[in-house]
Every structure is written in C-alpha cells, then in structure tokens.
C-alpha cells in the first residue's frame, strides 16, 4: 500500500513536471492569440478597434500569469496539500482560459485551448474526476461566449457566429469530441493504475522474497563462516599432521640409511639431500670435527660453486659458530650479517640455522642450513633440524664403528695393508672380472731380503717399524684400484687390474728402487732394506687363478736365488724368466 501511494505521488510529480512546462510557455499562447485577434479584427474583418476587448484580454493574461505563479509556489509545498490546491488552481485556469477564448473573434476555432488544462487531469486522475471540469467548462464556455457576443452586439460589432443555437451546438460538439478523448485518456490512466497496482503487488511479493533471500543469505553466510572456521581448523591440523608426517618420513629415511649405508661420505650426502628436500632450504652443509682441536672440515655441501665452497671451507671455524662446536648449542639467525658469518660472503644469505651433531656429550660436527630471504626459519624448523641431527649423529657414530670393524676385519693391524683374508676375496672377484671382460690382471709378490737377520740384529720393534715404513711408502705409490696386502710375515702382494706384464714389471722395478733408497730410523738406529719381487700376469703367464699365484711365487724365488734385490717376471710360454 505504501508503495502504491508512493506511485500516486510519483504520478502527480510527473504531472507537475508537465504542468511546469505548460505554465512556462502558456503566456506565449495567450499573447499569440491576442495578436491574432487584433490582426483579424483590424485587417480581415475591418472591425473598429475595441479597447475594452484588448483590456479584458490583458487582464485575463495577467490573471493567467498570476495563477501560474501561485501554482508554481504551491508545487513547492509538501505533497499532502498541493493536490487539493492544484485542483483549485486548475479550476481557476479553466475559468480564465474559457473567458479568454470567448473574447476572440475566431473563438470557435480555439475552444480546444480552454480544454488543454483538463487534458492533464484526465491523464493523471482519470476520466471520472475529469467530468465535473468538462461540464463546468462547457457551461462556462456557453455563458461566457454568449455574454461576449451580447456585449459586442450591443456595441454594434458583429461576431463570427450570429446564430445562437448553432453556436451552442458547435461548442457542445467540440466538448463531446473532447469528452471522448478524455474518456480514452482516462482509460489509459486506468490501465496505467491497474498496471501500477500489479507492479506494486509484484514489488511487494519481490520484497517478501527479498526479505526471505536476505534471511537465507544470512543463514548461508553463518553456515559459510562456520565452514570457513572448520576449514581453517582442519588446515591447521593438516599442517601439523603434514609436518609430523614429514618429520616421521625424514627420520624413517635417516634410520634406514643408518642401517644400510656405512660409507661415511655416502651417508652424509644422503642426509644432506634429505635435509634440503624436507626443510626447503637454499643450501645445506655438513661439517665434521677433526684433530685434537676439533677443527671443522666441510664433508658435504649443496654449494657447487668451487669459489664459494672454498670460502666456506676457509671460514667455517669462525668465532660465531663456537657456541655450536664448543657448547653444543643450536643457533638461528633470520637477519644474517656477512661480517658475523664470513663463510656466507658473496652468497646473499639472509637466514641461517646451525645445529651441532652430538654423540655421548661430544660434538661430532655441525649442520648449517641457509636461505636467501629474511625470516625464513622459526623455532619449529630448528626443532626439526635438531631431531634430524640427533639421528645423523647416531648414523655417524655407526658409520665410524662400522669403519673400525671393517678395518679390523680387512686391514693388517701393524702395517695398515689389507690382510690375507680380504686379499683372497678380492683376488677371486678381480680374476673373475678379468676373465669375463678379457683384460690383464697382474700380481706382484715380494718380501724383504734377510728380514730375519735384520730382526735378530735390531730387534722386533725396529723390524715392525721397517714393515710400517715400507707399507706406508707403497700405499702412496699405488693407484686407487690396486690392492696391497700383507700375505704373511715380511711377504706382501700387490694385485693390479688392467695392467699388462710389462707395466707390472716396470712398477715392480720402481718399487724396488724406491724402497732401497728409504732411510728407516727410530732416532737411535738407522737402516735401509731391499726387496725381491716376482711378477706374473693373466693371461700372458698364467691361465688360472692359482697358477697366477704360483708363477709369481716361482719368480720371487728365482729373484732370491739370483742374489736378491731384484725383479723376476714369470716366464711366458716357450721362454725362460726375464731378469732385471
């Protein structure tokens, strides 16, 4: 209902808008009609000038302007009272316009002008409310026109229409036609009202739907907020679960490495890769303590640039890291100053965590992770790295114990050369490899000349020193793939894969000369020793594994029988042993 009233006022406002335009230019219509009447009376019908008619028309023009001004002022008032005032002003306008038209000589042609104010009533208020105005205007038109005609007739001035009945008929006919038009316009108004009512009903329904939708929207928003809150809680829980799973997976991987990887470097490379993957860091470096002063030495690092890696190696023992190496404390710095951490110079490191590797209260080394952005790490990152470091420390200890056990199982305790058991295993492996791939495999067997006499003269301790000095020298001169072992007492063997008979003979000769030039001393006694060497090669001098050993051993005895301090090569098929 409120909406309907609002639309009525809106219609009235539209009516006012059109009325303002009529009011604005209405005086021009009156003025034009005055000039038209003067022209007709003076030039067309040649009537004498009647000042009274002109004065009356001027007065009516003035009244019309006054009514327009009053109407404009009324339109500025509140909408509650201006509808009634507008009806009164409209009635006054009808009276003034009808009277004005009646003063014209050609009034019969301009009756429609008097009906214009009524037109807007039919368009804005309907046909029924227009009928009183039409009847009133019709009656007033007849009366006023008749009065003017009588007045002019008394003054001896003829009118356009002298027949009174015809005059009344003409006025009535025009008003009937106009009434029909008003009826049509009223129908338009009624249709408009009906449409407006339907629209208002639809608007009211839409308003109800809108209210319902707003309530539903609020309920949905509340449900959505609850879902968002639950989702945030789930995300937080998921983050914690993901972090726990990542931590568990990391520890599981490291635990598996502890039980399966016993090579120290391989183990540390694996752990370093795991740290980079789990922590999502820019660089990761593991450095272990060495020597009596526990100096750090870089073992593995993700830094590939040799220059940067050299800087890290040179400055890893800076004072800033001493709390980790000496006190076993973890460190975190999210605003790294290269002056405090000289090993970061030139690498744009902004954040860093340093965690010690501890085992049985002793610092084994440190793990350093770095990032190129500030505030990259938090306490949770440091805690996770500490947990990883604990596992790494266990892995390092296990690797060292394994290395010790491996050394005890494979190395000779006095000389550091491989023992005979290890040599036999490797000999079988290398011989099978030489057979399958068809490459040469050479064997050198040698012992120290007159070693028993040497022991009897200088004692067993000095004899042990000779064995250790000789072994150290030989290990320095051999290739990585060569296998050097103590075969028994003062007798040693060297297995040389991918080595021909001639190459093996040359190597044996170099060793013989080098050993003879060694000066062995214990600061009290100084002495030198010589060796005798036998050389054999598969497949030149031996076709089977045992034959390779026996032919080399036979060559060794030939060297001894020939006076010692010399190399003998096993004889080839159809030849005697070669002497060097």
pLDDT the model gives residue 100: 74
Residues 430, 380 within the same domain: no
**Highest mean predicted confidence (pLDDT) among 239-248, 364-373, 393-402, 424-433:** 424-433
Among 210, 244, 273, give the residue marking a domain's end: 210
Rounded to the nearest 10 degrees, what angle do helices 545-561 and 420-437 cross at? 120
More confident residue, 16 or 525: 525
pLDDT the model gives residue 574: 47
**Highest mean predicted confidence (pLDDT) among 6-15, 221-230, 477-486:** 477-486
Could you give the CA distance from residue 312 to residue 178 in angstroms, rounded to a whole number? Answer: 108
Q: What does the DSSP assignment read for 507-542?
A: HHHHHHHHHHT--EE-SS-EE---EEEEEEEETTT-
Q: What burial letters (b/e) apply to 157-175, b meaning 16+ CB within 10 Å? A: bebeeeeeeebbebbeebb
User: Which residues neighbour 206 within 8 Å (Cβ) at sequence distance 6 or greater?
Assistant: none
CB 577 within 8 A of CB 552: no
Mean of the per-residue pLDDT values of the chain: 80
Sign of the alpha-carbon torsion through 383, 389, 391, 393: negative
CB 393 within 8 A of CB 357: yes
Could you give the CA distance from residue 483 to residue 411 in angstroms, rounded to a whole number? Answer: 11
For residue 318, what are the domain limits?
Answer: 261-400
User: Which residues neighbour 457 within 8 Å (Cβ) at sequence distance 6 or greater?
Assistant: none
pLDDT the model gives residue 576: 45
pLDDT the model gives residue 193: 72
Among residues 490, 502, 509, 558, the one annotated as catalytic is: 490
| Torsion of Cα atoms, 269 then 272 then 274 then 276, to 10° | -140
- Please state the φ and ψ torsions of residue 361, each to the nearest 5 degrees: 75, 5
The DSSP call for residue 382 is: H
Peptide bond before residue 163 is cis, with ω within 30 degrees of 0? no
Q: What is the pLDDT of residues 335-344, one digit of tens each?
A: 998 888 898 8
493 has which bridge partners? 445, 485
Averaged pLDDT, 174-201:
76
Q: Decide if 393 is inside a domain.
A: yes
Could you give the CA distance from residue 502 to residue 1 in angstroms, rounded to a whole number? Answer: 120
Residues 391, 483 within the same domain: no
pLDDT band at 260 (very low <50, low <70, confident <90, very high): low
Ordered alpha helix ranges (H), 126-261: 131-154, 164-260
Averaged pLDDT, 50-73:
74
Q: Decide if 183 is inside a domain.
A: yes
- The alpha carbon of 27 is separated from its chain's Cα centroid by a whole number of angstroms, namely 73
**Is it the case that residue 62 has pLDDT exceeding 80?**
no
Sign of the alpha-carbon torsion through 300, 304, 305, 308: negative
- Please state the φ and ψ torsions of residue 339, each to the nearest 5 degrees: -70, -35
Q: Decide if 243 is inside a domain.
A: no
pLDDT the model gives residue 506: 96
Residues 266, 392 within the same domain: yes
Q: What burial letters (b/e) apply to 325-354, b meaning 16+ CB within 10 Å? A: beeeebbbbeebeeeebebbeebebbbbbb
Tokens describing residue 493: 């063997």
Rounded to the nearest 10 degrees, what angle do helices 2-39 and 111-125 cross at? 180
pLDDT the model gives residue 171: 75
Q: What is the pLDDT of residues 196-224, one digit of tens each?
A: 777 888 888 888 888 888 888 888 888 88
Could you give the CA distance from residue 416 to residue 478 in angstroms, rounded to a whole number? Answer: 14
Q: What is the pLDDT of residues 291-323, one digit of tens each?
A: 777 788 998 898 888 888 888 888 888 888 888
CB 484 within 8 A of CB 492: yes
pLDDT band at 541 (very low <50, low <70, confident <90, very high): very high
490 catalytic? Reply is yes
Residues 396, 289 within the same domain: yes
CATH of the domain at 516: 3.30.70.270
pLDDT the model gives residue 579: 44
Percent of the chain whose pLDDT exceeds 90: 24
Q: What is the pLDDT of residues 23-33, one digit of tens each?
A: 556 667 777 77
3-state secondary structure 284-335: EEEEEEECCCCEEEEEEECCCCHHHHHHHHHHCCCHHHHHHHCCCCCEEECC
Rounded to the nearest 10 degrees, what angle do helices 264-279 and 379-410 cross at? 170
pLDDT the model gives residue 375: 87
More confident residue, 257 or 500: 500
Residues 463, 533 within the same domain: yes
CB 532 within 8 A of CB 446: yes
Rounded to the nearest 10 degrees, what angle do helices 79-102 and 131-154 cross at? 30
Averaged pLDDT, 255-271:
73
Residues 311, 182 within the same domain: no
Residues 79, 114 within the same domain: yes
Q: Decide if 253 is inside a domain.
A: no
Among 168, 192, 210, give the residue marking a domain's end: 210
CA distances from 555 to 35, 165, 549, 577 (A): 155, 168, 10, 7
Averaged pLDDT, 165-194:
74
Place of tokens 């001169």: 477
Residues 518, 391 within the same domain: no
Q: What is the pLDDT of residues 88-105, one digit of tens each?
A: 777 777 777 777 777 776
pLDDT the model gives residue 9: 45
pLDDT the model gives residue 24: 59
More confident residue, 379 or 42: 379
Rounded to the nearest 10 degrees, what angle do helices 79-102 and 111-125 cross at? 160
More confident residue, 554 or 114: 554
User: Which residues neighbour 178 within 8 Å (Cβ) at sequence distance 6 or greater?
Assistant: 112, 115, 118, 134
pLDDT band at 36 (very low <50, low <70, confident <90, very high): confident
pLDDT band at 2 (very low <50, low <70, confident <90, very high): very low
**Is it the case that residue 245 has pLDDT exceeding 70?**
no
Could you give the CA distance from residue 539 to residue 494 in angstroms, rounded to a whole number? Answer: 17
**Is it the case that residue 262 has pLDDT exceeding 70?**
no
More confident residue, 409 or 437: 437
**Is it the case that residue 243 has pLDDT exceeding 70?**
no
- Coil/strand/helix, residue 448: strand
Place of tokens 């059109």: 18
Count CB atoms within 10 A of the CB of residue 576: 8
Q: Decide if 250 is inside a domain.
A: no
Averaged pLDDT, 531-557:
94
Could you give the CA distance from residue 379 to residue 330 in angstroms, rounded to a whole number? Answer: 10
Averaged pLDDT, 277-296:
84
Residues 544, 468 within the same domain: yes
Count CB atoms within 10 A of the CB of residue 517: 10
Q: Decide if 413 is inside a domain.
A: no
CB 172 within 8 A of CB 138: yes
Averaged pLDDT, 264-282:
81
Count CB atoms within 10 A of the CB of residue 424: 15
Residues 425, 468 within the same domain: yes
Q: Decide if 220 is inside a domain.
A: no
Decide: residue 294, CB within 10 A, 0-12 exposed, 13-18 middle, 19+ buried.
middle
The DSSP call for residue 349 is: -
CB 549 within 8 A of CB 537: no
- Structural domains counted in the chain: 3
pLDDT band at 495 (very low <50, low <70, confident <90, very high): very high
pLDDT band at 503 (very low <50, low <70, confident <90, very high): very high
Q: Which pTM was predicted? A: 0.44
Residues 14, 104 within the same domain: yes
Q: Decide if 215 is inside a domain.
A: no
CATH of the domain at 394: 3.30.450.40
Residues 377, 443 within the same domain: no
**Is it the case that residue 480 has pLDDT exceeding 80?**
yes
């Amino acid at each position: 209902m409120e909406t309907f009233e609002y639309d009525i006022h809106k219609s009235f406002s539209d009516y006012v808008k059109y009325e303002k335009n009529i009011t604005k230019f209405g005086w021009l219509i009156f003025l034009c009609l005055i000039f038209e009447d003067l022209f007709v009376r003076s030039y067309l019908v040649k009537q004498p000038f009647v000042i009274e008619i002109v004065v009356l028309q001027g007065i009516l023009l003035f009244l019309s302007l006054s009514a327009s001004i009053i109407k404009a002022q009324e339109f500025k008032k509140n909408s509650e009272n201006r509808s009634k005032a507008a009806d009164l002003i409209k009635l006054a306008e009808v009276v003034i316009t009808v009277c004005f038209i009646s003063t014209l000589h050609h009034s019969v042609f301009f009756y429609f002008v008097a009906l214009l104010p009524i037109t807007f009533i039919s368009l804005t208020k309907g046909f029924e409310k227009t009928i009183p105005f039409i009847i009133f205007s019709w009656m007033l038109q007849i009366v006023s026109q008749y009065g003017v005609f009588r007045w002019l007739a008394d003054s001896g001035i003829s009118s356009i229409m002298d027949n009174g009945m015809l005059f009344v008929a003409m006025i009535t006919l025009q008003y009937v036609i106009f009434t029909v038009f008003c009826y049509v316009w009223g129908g338009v108004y009624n249709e408009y009202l009906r449409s407006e009512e339907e629209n208002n009903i639809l608007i009211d329904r839409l308003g109800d739907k809108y209210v319902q939708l707003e309530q539903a929207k609020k309920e949905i928003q509340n449900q959505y907020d609850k879902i968002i809150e639950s989702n945030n809680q789930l995300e937080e829980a998921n983050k914690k679960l993901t972090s726990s799973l990542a931590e568990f997976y990391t520890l599981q991987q490291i635990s598996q490495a502890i039980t399966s990887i016993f090579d120290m470097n391989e183990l540390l490379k694996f752990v370093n890769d795991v740290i980079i993957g789990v922590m999502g860091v820019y660089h990761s470096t593991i450095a272990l303590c060495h020597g009596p002063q526990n100096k750090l030495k870089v073992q593995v690092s993700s830094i590939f640039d040799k220059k940067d890696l050299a800087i890290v190696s040179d400055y890893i023992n800076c004072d800033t890291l001493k709390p980790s190496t000496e006190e076993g404390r973890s460190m975190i710095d999210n605003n790294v100053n290269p002056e405090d951490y000289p090993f970061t110079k030139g690498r744009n490191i902004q954040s860093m965590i340093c965690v010690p590797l501890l085992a049985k209260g002793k610092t084994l080394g440190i793990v350093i992770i770095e990032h190129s952005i500030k505030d990259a790490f938090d306490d949770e990152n440091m805690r996770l790295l500490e947990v990883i470091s604990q596992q790494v420390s266990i892995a390092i200890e296990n690797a060292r114990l394994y290395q010790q056990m491996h050394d005890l199982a494979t190395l000779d305790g006095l000389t550091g050369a491989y023992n005979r058991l290890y040599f036999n295993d490797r000999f079988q492996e290398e011989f099978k490899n030489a057979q399958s791939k068809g490459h040469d495999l050479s064997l050198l067997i040698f012992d120290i000349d007159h070693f028993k006499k040497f022991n009897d003269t200088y004692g067993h301790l000095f004899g042990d020193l000779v064995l250790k000095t000789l072994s150290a020298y030989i290990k320095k001169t051999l290739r990585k793939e060569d296998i050097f072992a103590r075969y028994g007492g003062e007798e040693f063997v060297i297995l040389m894969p991918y080595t021909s008979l001639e190459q093996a003979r040359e190597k044996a000769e170099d060793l013989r000369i080098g050993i003879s030039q060694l000066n062995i001393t214990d600061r009290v006694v100084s002495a030198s020793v010589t060796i005798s060497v036998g050389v054999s090669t598969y497949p030149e001098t031996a076709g089977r594994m045992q034959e390779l050993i026996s032919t080399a051993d036979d060559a060794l005895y030939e060297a001894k029988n020939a006076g010692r301090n010399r190399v003998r090569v096993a004889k080839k098929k159809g030849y005697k042993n070669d002497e060097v």
